[in-house]
Structure 1
């Protein structure tokens, strides 16, 4: 595919799409029903459908029965960790293999023209972003995912929380499934914004942001505190009436869905004529500029409301730079006032 039909490449080899990032169309005024109807299939397919498929597979093939889950024993806990780890290895590793090791589409649609393997750095374990990110994912963050997963299943088995049956509440639970990505986005925005507070950023979130040029293994490369807070989105299903399948769906949005923002490509070419949209550009801009796009793709436009939205345009650059300048000017004023006292 010719990526220059869809975007531009600068002198450094970095590619950017022509289309700017937009918030979900139902926030538009006046309402645009046609846009919403066109957006709906993209919202459901393929990513959210995939996450629901994995949730169902987990429930029917992986999760222990209620009697087993009532007691915390190493066997089923390690089993869940193994499944999570193998699933992530298969999904993330497959993308890494084809697009970062074999490089089957070269740098077409790649936001950063370089590959992490070409950029060794002392900030990473063994000076390798790939090794560092891989180890942190499998020995830090996936265990945190498993801890939250075990807690939810144990609570369900022991009657802690309000758990509803699909046969009794099909409409409510279907709506909860539909809005689970919204819950993820709100949760992610606020915990993400919190760990950008300088003290927390220095000790916690900087681990993730070392990967300025993210790749699939960067997705779950986190400090333990961030990993726990990130997957704690699943704990909302102990607060609201829910169903364990919906809770697993919520966790899998976080676990498998983390790769979307870190794929590094706008599109993954599947054939010469077809490609899969990654929806990665919004979060790539966050890794590039650090202080924009704390949330997701604009399902809930919290970044827009809080003034941290960047749509990838020159206007977005100008708004971001104006915000940075305003903050810098305020700091200078405070320093001047302190010096004059």
Structure 2
């Protein structure tokens, strides 16, 4: 495998999931400490969500009735969030080459002069779909959810009324997102939907920050339906905004094509995973992410070995033969 990749972590990939039987309390505590007691990407997203709640997005009182002003405010904020996150990461890793190829999975750079992509350019193709359909639908789901919460059609809480649930729900949102993502991703890989919808995202075999949110409009709708959980589960605006950041700008972070951000040659921020990089290379494997063990349980896990590559290619042939 080392000849096929510029970099990969130690193989075969281990299992970092918190879902084990019998339970592993020590492993769970390490997972909580790593993700929530350090300046992790999740903690940074929660901080950003609080800042958006305080200074950027309109209040629920404003959202009680649909009006062009506050809806446009949400759209502009989301446009700038996606542009800043994907654009900033692309600038650092691919334009400035701030990390060179250290911890970069693929040997290749982003594609150009290829008719596979709209505008014959991978980055422009990804920007078009991310900033067009992506921002519009992210805004649509957010606006509808805010309106439902503002009018009492969706349950809401405050930190004062439910402090334990307030904190716990922040921890659970990424787990819910991972659960939802696995199942809708399996759906999108059914040949009918794959050919007509999901193939657009899979143009990106060699992924970059703009690839994460680049999808067909139908896939954007399916992917962002994860936000509908706030229609039935009691939430605060901060939970919704954290979920928005996780689904939108978060997709840019997980598709950088690099494993970690290095500062003075030390790993400071987790970004992409080799787990998902394998999915973009071999397609019919690793539909979920490492947080949920579905791929291991349902036999679609690729651990990075040549044996797993052989099995994945055989599975793909069987699927298309059917």
Answer whether TM exceeds 0.5 for this pair: yes
Note the 1:162-201 alignment, pairs <5 A.
Answer: 162-201=155-194
2:152 counterpart of 1:140: no
After TM superposition, give the deviation of residue 179 of structure 1 in Å: 0.9
Q: Which has the larger radius of gyration?
A: 1
In the alignment, what sits opposite 2:96?
Answer: 102
Q: 1:260–1:280: 8 Å Cα contact kept in structure 2?
A: no
Aligned residue runs from structure 1 range 65-76, under 5 A: 65-76=59-70
For 2:15, which of 11, 19, 23 is the aligned residue?
A: 23
1:160-195, CA deviations, whole angstroms, 9 ceiling, x for partnerless residues? 111122211111222111111111011111111111
Pairing 1:93–2:87 present: yes
Aligned-partner Cα distance in 2 for 1:256–1:68: 25
SS in 1 for 2:196: helix
With over 3 angstroms needed to count, the CA separation of the structure-2 counterparts of 1:253 and 1:23, relative to structure 1, is farther
2:280 corresponds to 1:295? no
For residues 179 and 15 of structure 1, what CA distance do their matches in structure 2 show? Answer: 31
Q: Counterpart of 2:227?
A: 234
TM-score by length of 2: 0.92
Stretches of structure 1 that go unaligned for 5 or more consecutive residues are 1-7, 335-341
Counterparts in 2 of 1:2-17, with a 5 A limit? 9-10=2-3, 14-17=6-9
SS at match of 1:154: helix
RMSD over aligned Cα, in angstroms? 2.1
CA drift of 1:153 comes to 0.7
Distance 1:290 1:25, change over 3 A: closer
Cα distance between partner residues in 1 of 2:263 and 2:184: 34
Asked if 1:264 corresponds to 2:230, the answer is no
CA contact (8 A) 1:233 1:251 kept: no
CA deviations 1:226-268 (Å, max 9, x no partner) are 1122112111110122222212222221112212331101122
In structure 2, what is the Cα distance between the partners aligned to 1:164 and 1:13?
47
TM-score, normalised with respect to structure 1: 0.87
Change (3 A) 1:223 1:29: same
CA gap 1:313/1:38 in 2 versus in 1, 3 angstroms: farther
